[in-house]
Amino acid sequence: MRRPVLAANWKMHSGPTEARAFIAAFTARWTPHTDRTVIFFPPAISLTTVIHALGGRADLGVGVQNIWTEDKGAFTGENSAPIAKDAGARYALVGHSERRHVFGETDAQTAKKCAAAARSGITPLLCVGELLAEREAGATNDVVVRQLEAGLSEIAADTIASMAIAYEPVWAIGTGKTATPADASAVHAAIRARLEKTLGQRAAEVPILYGGSVNAGNAKSLLSAPGVNGLLVGGASLDVQSWAAICDT
């Protein structure tokens, strides 16, 4: 995966009708690129609509925003990795800050979700990031490395080498505040250093994305920062022109 990765997290926006129109408009102006990976994470109900609308384009991937830890069972309202895989998902977000801080997802659950994705042949995109209070206390790297180690604790090195990590400082998500390129580089370096302990030179294969109030105006400076290999984009990915501009960066 070590090409720039540009991931659109639509969160709880865009039902099937809106998603179909978005993909039609986006693909009309977005020509295939082989030098970057573009991934859509629509709501689960819109997943198959997006997949069908993409018409099999290999340059555009689709993932789910969340999976449960088990492959099947009495878990009303949840989606499993095998179900997501059968629907056509190639990726799964794990540990997004909203899952952690709105829904109470624990480090232990992120480990099980990464393992569940790997079992089903879905690539996990593990999200890590600190709260504002943790940053102000100087604990950013400690928090990020703890979340990283937990999320990777139940999967094999080969799986880790083929996945992606996203650093998304919680204080910068949906707030309009963005970590500076230097801030992002520093945390990405800490993530890379921890990956090297497990993977050695293969750690270079893992793309590390930045997420947190990314938009068309700051995408270039963030992508130019040392160690930033892609972007996880929320609100700015809901507008076709904005998202296309970010993907063109």
Q: What is the pLDDT of residues 22-71, one digit of tens each?
A: 999 999 999 888 899 999 999 999 999 999 999 999 899 999 999 999 99
Catalytic residue list contains 101: no
Please give the structure tokens belonging to residue 228.
């930033």
Please give the structure tokens belonging to residue 79.
């989606």
Q: Give pLDDT, residue 171.
A: 87
HSE, CB side, 13 Å, CA atoms: give it for residue 49: 17
Name residues whose C-beta falls within 8 Å of residue 242's C-beta, 6 or more positions apart in sequence: 215, 216, 236
Q: What percent of the chain has pLDDT over 70?
A: 99
Q: What is the pLDDT of residues 131-184, one digit of tens each?
A: 999 999 999 999 999 999 999 999 999 999 999 999 999 988 777 777 899 999
- Tell me the domain boundaries of the chain: 67-237
Cα–Cα dist 163/67, whole Å: 16
pLDDT band of residue 1 (cuts 50, 70, 90) is low
Cα–Cα dist 179/151, whole Å: 23
Helix, coil or strand: residue 109: helix
- Which CATH superfamily, name and number, covers 67-237? Aldolase class I (3.20.20.70)
Cα–Cα dist 173/170, whole Å: 5
Catalytic-role residue among 52, 168, 188, 196: 168
Average pLDDT, the chain: 95
Name residues whose C-beta falls within 8 Å of residue 18's C-beta, 6 or more positions apart in sequence: 46
Catalytic-role residue among 13, 96, 101, 134: 96
CA 99 to chain centre: 13
Report yes or no: 42 and 50 within 8 Å, Cβ to Cβ.
yes
Q: Where are the alpha helices (DSSP H) in the chain?
A: 16-29, 47-54, 81-87, 97-101, 107-119, 132-136, 140-152, 157-161, 181-199, 219-223, 240-248
Catalytic residue list contains 205: no
Range of 58-62, 121-125, 210-214 with top mean pLDDT:
121-125
Length of the chain counted residue by residue: 249
Q: What are phi and psi of 115, to 5 degrees?
A: -65, -40
